């Protein structure tokens, strides 16, 4: 049997890859990645530079891994809905296989390709731990609250062992010769960012091993500490599929469950939140366009160009918010606690539409997953599924003191505040003049004054939100 294995930017690995493993067992496997303009092009690279760099490195790594097992990754330029039916005919394949996507656009393309193919198109549910749309309440409805979803997931979902890596892959030589060349970053019009994490399955496995060996046992205690680099940093690997969720779950459970059950519960909850976000999007694709809570559709969001630019560039005068903004632009990543603080500030202090922040993060995040990014922003705004209460407004100063007690996170990304004592680094305007002088900080010049009064802004948001919710 000759199988065309369609790789996409969500399954760039060979370990625990159901379609590849199945194809390798049954005969010839032609592995294809389509260089569609929506995925790799100068425009796409400009719109998403960090993700593009990680994607190219991951494709290169995947290609090398396939070659070492006798296979090859065939790169083809064009649109997947046109390319795959054509090459399936030309190469006389018996079927096409791929991982199923949760995102609405991916599901639509899969159906379009299925309709155009003259051979069977089979999909595997490897993007998530449970098949999207399969987990239902006793009433037969989708879950809308995370705690109930997580409880049901733990009780009813059997997580299979990861599928093995194929020992050998039989790929036709003639097909290999038709591969296009992967463009370079320079050809796409962007430079390489050395601050980004390395792409590819090899680097992803190293990150997972390092986390499990060094930090996982303290995850429940340190996951919110922005000044400590002790989180897993696997989010971009889940987003691009350089590691499967099943592999991470299985290895982390083995490492933690018996001797560090609290850490395991905390870490597995993060994986289940990802499951929840994908399940919610599967049943509610409209979430990418509008809030779940309809009353927020009429929320009087402000057009605040100066506030927006200050938030994007890290010039709001609130150090923890500005550190998050600069980490995003420079590193393509933001610590989860910092994401929540920054999102709360944009939506509730500045009254800027959460969808603007959602799009900005999606542009610069390496781990910019549509389902999780949307769920996170709607949670922060108080308008999504199982969102934080609308009346919870993060205080950036108090959050900074609690979760960046040393001030190291702020000082890393705001070097102009590096000499301020930790007592004042989260609220420089409270520092005595002598402390500011000794730290070479001139408010309004080397670092901005706060662009809003947080207490006043909080009250303003609550009045507006209460008028919509009727509370």
CATH of the domain at 141: 1.25.40.80
Residue 185 in any domain: the answer is no
Tokens of 5: 């294995």
Residues 116 and 135 in one domain: no
In a domain, 378, yes or no: yes
CA atoms within 13 A on the CB side of 83: 19
Q: pLDDT confidence of 173, banded at 50, 70, 90?
A: confident
231 and 97 within one domain: no
**Residue 410 pLDDT more than 60?**
yes
Q: Are residues 93 and 223 in the same domain?
A: no
Give the residue-averaged pLDDT of 235-248. 98
pLDDT value of residue 387: 67
Give the DSSP per-residue string, 237-255: HHHHTSS-HHHHHHHHHHH
What digits encode the pLDDT tens for the residues 186-229?
Answer: 999 999 999 999 999 999 999 999 999 999 999 999 999 999 99
> Domain check: are 461 and 327 in the same one?
yes
For 76, phi and psi rounded to 5 degrees? -130, 130
Edge-to-edge strand ranges of the sheet holding 73-77: 73-77, 28-35, 2-7, 95-99, 121-124
**In this structure, are 147 and 245 located in the same domain?**
yes
Confidence (pLDDT) at 172:
86
Shared-domain flag, residues 249 and 359: no
pLDDT at 135 over 70: yes
User: Alpha-carbon distance 331 to 333, whole Å?
Assistant: 5
- Do 78 and 143 fall into the same domain? no
Side-chain half-sphere exposure of 233, counting CA atoms within 13 A: 21
Strands 95-99 and 2-7: parallel
Same domain, 132 and 119: no
pTM (2 d.p.):
0.95
| 176 part of a folded domain | no
- What angle in degrees, to the nearest 10, is found between the helix axes of 354-364 and 319-331? 40
Averaged pLDDT for residues 345-351? 97
Q: Both 141 and 110 in a single domain? A: no
CATH number where 339 lies: 1.10.579.10
What are 31's strand-pairing partners?
Answer: 5, 73
Judge whether 180 lies within some domain: no
If DSSP states are collapsed to H, E and C, what string results for 300-346? CCCCCHHHHHHHHHCCCCCHHHHHHHHHHHHHCCCCHHHHHHHHHHH
pLDDT band at 7 (very low <50, low <70, confident <90, very high): very high
Q: Is residue 382 part of a domain?
A: yes
Express each pLDDT in 372-393 by its tens digit: 999 999 999 999 887 667 788 9
Judge whether residue 471 has pLDDT over 60: no
Q: Give yes or no for residue 153 having a pLDDT over 70.
A: yes
pLDDT digits (tens, 9 = 90+) for 279-320: 999 999 999 999 998 888 889 999 999 999 999 999 999 999
> What size, in residues, is the chain?
471
What's the mean pLDDT in 247-270?
Answer: 97
Please state, in angstroms and rounded to a whole number, the distance separating the CA atoms of residues 9 and 99: 10
Mean model confidence pLDDT for the chain: 95
pLDDT at 193: 97
Give the CATH number for residue 73.
3.40.50.620
Query: What is the per-residue pLDDT for 183?
Result: 97
pLDDT at position 107, please?
Answer: 93
Instruction: Report the DSSP beta bridge partners of residue 34.
Output: 76
Beta strand 28-35 with 95-99 is unpaired
Q: Which of 253, 283, 313 is the last residue of a domain?
A: 283
pLDDT of residue 465: 85
CB 324 within 8 A of CB 334: yes
pLDDT at 331 over 70: yes
Query: What is the domain range of residue 257?
Result: 128-162+201-283
pLDDT of residue 469: 67
Strand partners, 170: 28
Quick one: 94 and 151 in the same domain?
Answer: no
Cβ neighbours around 246 below 10 Å, total? 20
- Is residue 156 very low, low, confident or very high in pLDDT (cuts 50, 70, 90)? very high
* 245 vs 239: CA distance, rounded Å: 10
More confident residue, 295 or 122: 122
Calculate the alpha carbon distances from 457 to 25, 37, 273, 356 in Å.
61, 42, 30, 19
Number of domains in the chain: 3
Sign of CA dihedral 268, 362, 18, 112: positive
**What pLDDT score was predicted for residue 342?**
98
d(CA 150, CA 99): 24
The answer as to whether 187 is a domain residue is: no
Is 28 in a helix, a strand, or coil? strand
Rounded mean pLDDT, 120-143: 94
pLDDT for the residue 386: 79
Co-location of 73 and 142 in the same domain: no
CB atoms within 10 A of CB 326: 18
Same domain membership, residue 122 and residue 133:
no
pLDDT band at 470 (very low <50, low <70, confident <90, very high): low
Is 288 part of any domain? no
The least confident of 15-24, 80-89, 101-110, 459-468 is 459-468
Residue 261: what pLDDT? 97
């Amino acid at each position: 049997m000759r199988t065309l294995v369609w790789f996409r930017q969500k399954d760039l690995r060979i370990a625990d890859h159901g379609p590849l493993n199945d194809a390798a067992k049954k005969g010839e496997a032609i592995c294809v990645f389509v260089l569609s303009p929506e995925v790799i092009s100068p425009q796409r690279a400009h719109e998403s530079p960090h993700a593009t760099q990680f994607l190219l490195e991951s494709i290169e790594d995947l290609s090398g891994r396939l070659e070492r097992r006798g296979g090859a990754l065939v790169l083809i330029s064009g649109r997947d809905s046109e390319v795959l039916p054509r090459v399936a005919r030309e190469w006389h394949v018996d079927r096409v296989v791929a991982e199923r996507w949760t995102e609405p656009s991916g599901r639509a393309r899969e159906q379009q390709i299925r309709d155009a193919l003259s051979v069977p198109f089979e999909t595997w549910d490897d993007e998530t731990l449970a098949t999207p749309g399969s987990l239902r309440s006793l009433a037969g409805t989708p879950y809308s609250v995370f705690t109930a979803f997580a409880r049901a997931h733990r009780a009813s979902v059997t997580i299979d062992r990861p599928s093995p890596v194929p020992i050998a892959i039989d790929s036709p030589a003639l097909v290999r010769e038709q591969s296009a060349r992967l463009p370079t970053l320079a050809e796409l019009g962007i430079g390489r960012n050395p601050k980004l994490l390395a792409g590819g399955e090899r680097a992803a496995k190293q990150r997972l091993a390092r986390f499990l060996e060094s930090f996982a046992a303290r995850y429940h205690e340190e996951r919110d500490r922005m000044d400590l680099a002790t989180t897993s940093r696997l989010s971009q690997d889940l987003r691009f599929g350089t590691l499967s969720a099943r592999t991470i779950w299985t290895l982390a459970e083995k490492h933690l469950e018996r001797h560090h059950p609290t850490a395991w519960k905390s870490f597995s909850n993060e994986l289940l939140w990802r499951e929840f976000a994908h399940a919610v999007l599967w049943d509610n694709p409209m979430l990418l366009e509008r809030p779940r809570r309809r009353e927020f559709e009429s929320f009087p969001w402000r057009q605040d160009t100066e506030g927006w630019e200050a938030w994007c560039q890290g010039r709001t005068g609130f150090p923890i918010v500005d550190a998050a903004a600069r980490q995003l632009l420079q590193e393509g990543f933001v610590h989860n606690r910092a994401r929540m603080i920054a999102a709360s500030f944009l939506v509730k202090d500045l009254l800027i539409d959460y969808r603007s922040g959602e799009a900005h993060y999606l542009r610069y995040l390496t781990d910019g997953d549509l389902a999780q990014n949307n769920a996170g922003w709607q949670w922060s705004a108080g308008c999504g599924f199982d969102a934080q209460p609308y009346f919870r407004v993060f205080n950036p100063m108090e959050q900074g003191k609690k979760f960046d007690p040393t001030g190291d996170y702020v000082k890393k990304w705001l070097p102009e505040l590096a000499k301020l004592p930790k007592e004042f680094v989260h609220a420089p305007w409270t520092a005595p003049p002598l402390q500011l002088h000794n730290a070479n900080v001139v408010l309004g010049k080397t670092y901005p004054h706060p662009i809003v009064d947080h207490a006043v802004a909080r009250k303003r948001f609550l009045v507006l939100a209460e008028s919509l919710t009727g509370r």
